[in-house]
Structure 1
Amino acid sequence: MEASQRKELILKGNMYKAIITLAIPIMINSVIQTLYGLINGIWVSKLGKVQFAATSFVWPVNFLFISLGMGISIAGTAILSQLIGANRNKEADKYATQIIAISLVSSIIFTILGILISPAVVYLMGARGDLYNYSVLFLKLTFLEIPFIFAFFNFNSIMNAQGNTKTPTVLSAISVILNAILDPIFIFTFNLGIAGAAIATIICKMLLVVAVIFYAKGPSNVIRPDFKDFKFSKDIIKQILKVAIPSALGSSGSALGFIVLNGFIESYGIDTMAAFATVNRITGLVMQPAMGIGAALTTIIGQNLGAEDIQRAEEGFTKSLKFTIAFSMVGCILMLIWDREIISFFMQSGDEGVITESIVYLKYISISMPLMGIFSVLQGVFQGSGHTKYSMNMEIGRLWFVRLPMILLFKHFTSIGSQGIWFSMSSSNLIICLYGYYIYRQGCWRNKIVKTKEVLV
């Protein structure tokens, strides 16, 4: 589909078709990334449990640095989609150029800083002995990926802003398949061990960026970054960071919250921790349609706000909500009917204690599945409109101000045990969705973040 056809579909076409067209590639990409994580984990696990643990141990640290890149990407999609919707393509070119420049500079700084602080951070996290050595090595190498990750984030935001969610998915899928092939070669054939897994990923990310640069110069793209006579624009950077920083804080704050949450859950015993991990894998798969729809709505909201068609933006929200609730309800019913069968499939050990605990958690979380879908759609509205402070409030508020305090209260003032965790998780989804819907009804998101006239330097 050409860029003009995608724009016509988003601004004037059948809304359900627009949602499906944008959402399906995003869902496929998410599934591909999940499968890659599983494949990569299998190869690394063959080295030993310490090496496998090291890759998971340092992930939150790397993610905190990547959060800013994700924030810039969301800001890019919001701003660029609004400019495209308003037919201000030349301004979109200038914004895209500034976004790429900001990402490049920040990624280089983060790479250098991350490599320097890796030993201290891993030590402060409590790693010692072999776990410390493998964690430091792996973390330093993963920081070398950051410039390439940020570059792909830029490409993703530029493509998504145009409604092209297919191309990033295809390129990402090729990169993942190549990575799965190179992993055993670098890990075992070249005998590089855990370092081989990281090096294989760096090479694949590098090749992905080369492909991105080649594709971005093609004639089908509406947005064309231009670095001729480039210089930083204070006004544009200020606008980008105004949208990017809340989004980055929301992602990083959520990541930190889940680290703390894991600590609370672990205190209830290994069965509870295993149940939490098992059910999260299940809900992660079931929620793929809702998350894809939420991400697709980001572009729909952005372009229609840019075109000053508030009514159609609202139509996008309403129909996305109907889609998401329908998918979530189906998932909820299936999980309630075949709870034991589903748990047993994902928990192959047959441990009855874990299975019983998982079934209890699954029942609680199944009931709140539609709420998790509504959460994704509301995130799509606030991120697409560029009012990311509200999406930040939802991400951080759900964990730090609702879920974690409720878990503490149930733990210290009741005797219901682990059910307090499961009830808190479901209740926090309800409370934060009520907050999000209240903000939506207030209408603040309808205000465009890109004004009628911009000072472009």
Structure 2
Amino acid sequence: MLNNFIQTIYNLADTYWVSNMLGTSEVAAMTLVFPVIFLTLSLGMGINVAGTALISQHTGAQQKKEASKVASQMFAFTLILAVTLSIIGFFATPYIIKAMGGKGDVLKYSTQYLQIMFWEIPGIFMFFVYNSIKQGQGDTLTPMLYNVCGVVLNIILDPFFIERFGIKGAALATIFSRTIFVIIAVYTLFANRNSGIYLRLKEIKIQKDILLKIIKIGFPATIGQSASALGFIILNAFVISYGDQTLAAFGIGNRINSLVLMPVMGIGSALATIIGQNLGANNLERVKLAFITSIKLSTLFMVVGGIILSLSSKHVVGVFIKNDPEVFALSNQYLRIISTSLPLMGFFQVFIGTFQGSGHTIFAMIMDMGRLWGLRIPLILLFRKFASWGPSGVWYAMLLSNAIICVVGLFIYLSNVWQKKVITDNVVAS
């Protein structure tokens, strides 16, 4: 939970300083490009999901050597992929922003911010590898500590960099503060051989059978995350059609909402590890107990969080918006509507953690894609044509899509098809 909270603080810190030191256009620019960053990261997230599933199941089955082989393949493939995406993204940025409907100041600021942020991709992908290895072993504390150091440095550097470089400074501060601790974290994977799972330079080479297994498990997660990111790009295109103020309000509301969602995101991540380790150990009863416990915890956190957010939305929004009444009103409206669906988001994260931890990422993909492409975007189009709700139609579509997809997740869970292990007794399955 703390690790997810810290990740959220990265975005909140940038949003806070940009909104207070620069203006609405810069906040709208950051909001516009966020799904593009998420789309790029989704390619690495799939490898992270596959690594967590395989390493946790090998750990539960006491197969440390096989787990180390998976870790080495993740590192080699992820490094190549990250550098390639950074180069492509840097040169493609202006065309991407124009295709998303960016114009005027939003186009200028979005391009400046996104081109720099693409050089953060290798650092983030390497930390995905580190986090996957540690999480697969059940260690969520060490990655959290590195993230704490990074976010504290980012908060300190943001105002100085933004004052000197404008919106580009927010990106530079984030890259600098994150990369330093990523380098340290990755170094420990090679230096610390007492943990049982570590990297060796001579093993950092492509091994086809293991890599194909990682890709087989990770590909559905990548497709699901990518489709989700593309859906948010389309969603942003709808939102920006209502004006820069609406897009800025949407961005601020999402940052605040993600902070409230932090507990259930942590529960989902922890659940993936527990599911994987106990499936590896053939302890199906504990798998089911972990699921039920996670549902109870997420419901408690999200009901309390929804009530607090609904009652305090004006005060929270006021921290970010001081001189734009329209953005303030739209942000407050968004938070009050979306707070009612927070328990549903808790269920969603538990289902995703269950299916990812079991290695049956196809079901997580179905939920990710179905929520946005099968439900949310069609509902937005429907409300836009037949209702006169304006931007509120987007908020209501988000609420309804969350409810329906949770029903889908429940049916998949009850089918029990996700309970089969994705490893063999002795080696990684081919």
1:93–1:226 Cα contact (<8 Å) kept: no
TM-score where L is the length of structure 2: 0.87
Q: Choose the corresponding residue for 1:166, options 117, 123, 141.
A: 141
In structure 2, what is the equivalent of residue 144 of structure 1? 119
Q: What is the aligned partner in structure 2 of residue 211 from structure 1? A: 184
Q: Deviations over 1:132-175 (max 9, x none)?
A: 55544433322222211111110010011111111101111101
What is the CA deviation profile of residues 245-269 of structure 1, one whole-angstrom value per residue up to 9, with x for unaligned ones? 2212222211221232233345567
Q: Residues of 2 paired with 1:379 and 1:63: CA distance?
A: 17
Selected match of 2:63 from 83, 88, 91: 88
Q: Is the 8 A contact 2:338 2:399 kept in 1?
A: yes
User: Counterpart amino acid of 1:39?
Assistant: A
**Paired residue for 1:262?**
236
Matching residue's letter, 1:310:
L
1:185 deviates by: 4.4
Structure 2 vs 1, CA of residues 350 and 66 (structure 1 numbering), >3 Å: closer, same or farther? closer
Structure 1 residue 193 displacement after superposition:
4.5
The match for 2:407 is 434
CA distance in 2, matches of 1:232, 1:113: 23
Matches within 5 A, 1:88-127: 88-127=63-102
**Shift in Å, 1:335:** 5.0
What is the letter of the counterpart of residue 223 of structure 1? Answer: I
Distance 1:172-1:456 versus aligned 2 partners, 3 A rule: same
Where 1:93 maps in the other structure, the secondary structure is helix
CA apart distance, 1:430: 1.9
After the TM superposition, which of the residue ranges 192-201 and 289-298 deviates more from structure 2? 192-201
Contact kept, 8 Å, 1:68 with 1:248, in 2: the verdict is yes
1:210-289 to 2 correspondence within 5 Å? 210-216=183-189, 217-228=191-202, 230-267=204-241, 276=250, 279-289=253-263
Give yes or no for the alignment of 1:291 onto 2:265.
Answer: yes
The answer for unaligned runs of 5 or more in structure 2 is: none
- Whether 1:304 aligns to 2:278 is yes
Q: Where does the alignment leave 5 or more consecutive residues of structure 1 unmatched?
A: 1-26
Match of 1:343 among 306, 309, 314: 314
**Could you tell me how far 1:196 is from its partner in structure 2?**
4.1
- Answering whether residue 346 of structure 2 is matched by residue 368 of structure 1, we say no
Once residues 16 and 336 of structure 2 are traced to their aligned partners in structure 1, the CA distance between those partners, rounded to angstroms, is 30
Task: Give 1:125 deviation, angstroms.
Answer: 3.7
Task: Say whether 1:201 aligns with 2:153.
Answer: no
Structure 1 residue 186, shift from structure 2 partner: 4.4
SS of 1:163's partner is coil
Counterpart Cα distance in 2 of 1:52 and 1:350:
13
- Structure 2: distance between partners of 1:293 and 1:456: 28
Q: CA deviation at 1:321?
A: 0.7
The structural deviation recorded for 1:401 is 0.8
Partners of 1:212 and 1:295 lie apart in 2 by: 19
Question: Contact (CA 8 Å) 1:329, 1:370: kept in 2 or not?
Answer: yes
Q: How many residues align?
A: 426
Gap change, CA 1:136 and 1:170, over 3 Å in 2? same
| 8 A contact 1:278–1:343 mirrored in 2 | no
Letter in 1 for 2:314: I
CA distance change for structure 1 residues 312 and 132 in 2, over 3 Å: closer, same or farther? same
Q: Quote the residue 2:50 is aligned against.
A: 75
The alignment-based identity, stated in percent, is 45
More displaced stretch, 264-273 vs 145-154 = 264-273
One-letter identity of the residue aligned with 1:172: N
Q: Please, what TM-score do these two structures have when normalized by structure 1?
A: 0.83
Tell which deviates more after alignment, 137-146 or 195-204.
Answer: 195-204
In structure 2, the CA distance between the partners of 1:431 and 1:66, relative to structure 1 (3 Å rule), is same
The alpha-carbon deviation at position 415 of structure 1 amounts to: 5.0
**3-state SS of paired residue (2:217):** helix
- Measure, in 2, the Cα distance between the counterparts of 1:344 and 1:187: 25
Greater CA drift, 105-114 or 215-224:
215-224
Q: Which moved more, 1:237-246 or 1:198-207?
A: 198-207
1:387 Cα deviation (Å)?
1.1
Tell me, what secondary structure is at the counterpart of 1:81? helix
Aligned AA for 1:30? N
- Written as runs of structure 1 = structure 2, the 5 A alignment for 1:358-397 is 364-397=337-370
Higher-Rg structure is 1
Pair 1:78–1:353, CA change in 2 (3 A): same
* Cross-structure match for 2:289: 315
Displacement of 1:44 after TM fit?
A: 4.3
Maintained 8 Å contact 1:344/1:350: no
User: C-alpha distance in 1, partners of 2:315/2:234?
Assistant: 28
Structure 1 residues 345 and 227: alpha-carbon distance in aligned structure 2, compared to 1, 3 A threshold = closer
Deviations 1:286-310 (A, max 9, x none): 3222221111101100100111111
